[in-house]
Structure 1
Amino acid sequence: MTVQRLARNAVLVLALASLSACGGFGGGLFRGAGKANVQNEEAFLSSEERRFKRTNPTRLSDLFGGGANANTTLEVNRYIWAASLEVLNFLPIESVDPFSGVIVTGYGTPPGGGRAYRATVLVQDPALDARSLKLSLQSKGGAVDPATVRAVEDAILTRARQLRVQDGKL
């Protein structure tokens, strides 16, 4: 048992050493070999393609190194956040991240309704504005009518405005 574990660890160390020697971790024999090709390629890209490349990393080094500041804080509108939780309180919450503004729920049936829904909410801006709220509804039977999605968004935004007025900051 320990011999197998030792052999597995040795293979892992050799694989990591060979990757680092070939430039897999930013150094090694082929350091900088592809930089000229990347620079030449970017000269022919449109501004939209360059923006896509910056926001969608294609290399392993883009994913793990040289990215955005890890200490950057995202701001979420607290009224929309609280209103989303209140309006969708009939749905079981699967995950909540108040720092990125994401709420993911499981399937649940609204009071007086017969169809089960699940929701994903993204609060992406600190402004109390309709553009700050992104809502996705799903049902077990398939797609949800856009009018239903709009009605739930309106209910969340209306409740958010009520919470703000109650807070006395309007």
Structure 2
Amino acid sequence: MIFSRLRNTLLVLAGLVVLGACGQNQNIALDPNTGQVASGRESSGAARVQSGGSLFDIFKGGSGEVKVNRFLWTASLEVLNFLPIESADPFTGVISTGYGRPPGGGRAYRATVLISDPALDARSLNVALQTSGGVPVAAGTQRAVEDAILNRARQLRIQAGRY
């Protein structure tokens, strides 16, 4: 009886490991220009399929590094400078703030900013704003904050002499 429970437990664990390996390369597509496998998770473009891997390669951390646009990062901090920063991680591109009131405003807000790409582009910037009640703000308000951050980032890039 103990042997059958141990065997069943090991079979279930082995099945979970194999099932977990299935989700490793979700965003893979063939690049028509180069004929190589291109992954949507990598910013460099093409990824090469490596042979000689083992089952234990699943448990290794990802070698891909998230790169953050420095102009978007600085502009986000400058535009949202009225909010107290709770955490800022330049390696993942996440800025999380506490509640604060904008100058001349009566309602308190908090923001979470995600910069997901090294390009100075609107797709690289995601801003989530909440009121003090935890309710998301109107889409127009959120878009206005994103536009202010993007405009400031473009100004910083021009000041740096990188057109």
TM-score under structure 1 normalisation?
A: 0.64
Secondary structure, counterpart of 2:58 in structure 1: coil
Q: After superposition, give the CA deviation of every residue in 1:56-103 in whole Å (9 maximum; x if it has no partner).
A: xxxxxxxx9714644432100000000000000000000110000000
Alignment of 1:79-98 (within 5 A): 79-98=71-90
Aligned to 1:148: 141
- Which structure is higher in strand share? 2
Counterpart of 1:86, as a letter, is E
Q: How far, CA to CA, are the matches of 1:32 and 1:105 in structure 2? A: 40
Give the Cα–Cα distance (whole angstroms) in 2 for the partners of residues 84 and 33 of structure 1.
Answer: 45
Which protein has the bigger helix share? 1
Is the 2:128–2:136 contact (alpha carbons within 8 Å) kept by the matching residues of 1?
no
Q: Deviations over 1:14-64 (max 9, x none)?
A: xxxxxxx7697xxxx5488638x95xxx8xxxxx9x839xxxxxxxxxxx9
Q: Distance in 2 between matches of 1:123 and 1:165?
A: 20
Alpha-carbon RMSD across the aligned residues, in angstroms, is: 3.2
Shift of 1:143: 2.8
Q: TM-score, normalised by structure 2?
A: 0.66
1:124 is aligned to: 116
**Shift in alpha-carbon separation, 1:68–1:23, aligned structure 2, 3 A:** farther
Structure 2, unmatched stretches of 5+, are 1-5, 28-55
2:26 corresponds to 1:51:
yes
> Which whole-Å CA distance do the structure 2 matches of 1:165 and 1:67 have between them?
43
Instruction: Map 1:1-170; keep pairs closer than 5 Å.
Output: 30=11, 34=15, 51=26, 66-67=58-59, 69-141=61-133, 142-170=135-163
What is the rounded CA distance, in whole Å, between the counterparts of 1:148 and 1:32 in structure 2?
A: 48
**Residue identity (%):** 60
Residue 140 of structure 1, CA deviation: 1.5
